[in-house]
Copies of this chain bind each other. A is one copy, B any other.
Amino acid sequence: MDGFRDIAHLGHVSLLTPRPEESLEFFTSLLGLSVVSSSSGVWYLRGYGDYETYCLRLEASDRSGIGHLALRTWSPEALARRVEWLRGACVGGTWTEPEGGKGPAYEFRDPDGHFCRIYYETSKYEPPPDTRPAMKSNHSRYLGVGANVRRMEHVNLMASDVRACREFWEAGFGLRTFEIIRNDDGSEDGAWQSSTAQGHEIIYVRDHLGGRSRLHHVAFWVDSREDVLRAADLLNDAGVPIEAGPSRHIPVQGFYLYAREPGGNRVEICSGGYLAFDPDDSPVVWTSAEYAAKPGWGARLPSTFRTYGTPPLGAPEEDDVSDWPAP
């Protein structure tokens, strides 16, 4: 397994929004992120638990979707090794300038075309002197704003060929795969991967509309399942439709809540899920039939989960919220 532990963690996601002011209001007032800096049409936001300066890069655009995702490597050498692997695998890429306190980063595309970046250099968040947290083991004060998300937890990408994407990250970056939904023909409907002990960091799910490079959702962490339930009160009263949850997923067992931010991108508020310590475990593989049988408790997901992603494709079934059987 090449790249073993060269990746440290998901660093941030760049999100595109055609309604930037409203998106910004959503992420700050409702989710509780704070703006660290901004330049023309770009805002850098962080959760109170982020050690880096941002976990979300929000960019005004004429469309919704993901600009790029970025992973931090464990060291400069690890970054060099990963770039080398990409070149050896004939995956094109380019170096990008430092931005918002991170980088330089090497940008490339995953097999479905999503832009991805890897970087090592970063800046640690330093709170202004008058807003230092009580304990220096914290990165910033706990302010109690809205859903109080601590950090970004994972990103979920739609792909035509889930398996190819999964194998790309395994082969090139040493990500571990914890769970897979596998069809009888060997194709995959979903794959849950991570560079840490957390059961998900990068997820791929099948794009049933055949789109390219679309985003399914970005997920933010809260510290307890009770916090997810309170987030439902908050969003419900703020007039934000709750697309799914609160309930629990089968894969990785995360407790979830889904809504769409004003720009149209799907956002998850999550907690729970498992930590995986076994260094030589095999992925849990669910056949489509096993998964459809719902072995564990938790609500069925709406049919929009199979089709709606950003940018949307305009197919009517994307917004059909009637219940659907699986997955």
* Chain A residues close to B by CB (< 8 Å): 5, 8-9, 30, 32, 49, 51-52, 72-75, 124, 133-138, 141-148, 179, 196-198, 223-227, 229-230, 232-239, 242, 246-248, 250-253, 255, 272, 274-275, 277-281, 284, 295-297, 299-300, 323
Contact = CB atoms under 8 A, between A and B. Distances in A.
A174 to B, nearest CB: 11
B274 A237 contact: no
Most buried by B among A134, A143, A274, A278: A134
Nearest to A324: B323
A230 B148 CA distance: 10
A246 B235 CA distance: 19
Given A224-B224, A225-B229, A297 B236 contact: yes
23 contacts: A5-B5, A51-B277, A73-B279, A74-B279, A75-B280, A133-B237, A135-B253, A136-B295, A137-B253, A137-B274, A141-B238, A142-B230, A144-B145, A144-B234, A145-B145, A196-B197, A223-B272, A225-B225, A225-B229, A233-B297, A236-B296, A247-B247, A323-B323
A323 B147 CA distance: 30
A137 B246 contact: no
B142 A144 contact: no
A66 to B, nearest CB: 21
A173 to B, nearest CB: 14
A289 to B, nearest CB: 13
Most buried by B among A8, A242, A255, A296: A296
Contact of A51 (B30, B179, B278): B278
A238 B246 CA distance: 23
A134 B226 contact: no
A55 to B, nearest CB: 11
A102 to B, nearest CB: 13
A308 to B, nearest CB: 19
Given A74-B279, A144-B145, A297 B242 contact: yes
B233 A142 contact: yes
Nearest to A239: B134
Contacts of A72: 279
Contacts of A133: 237
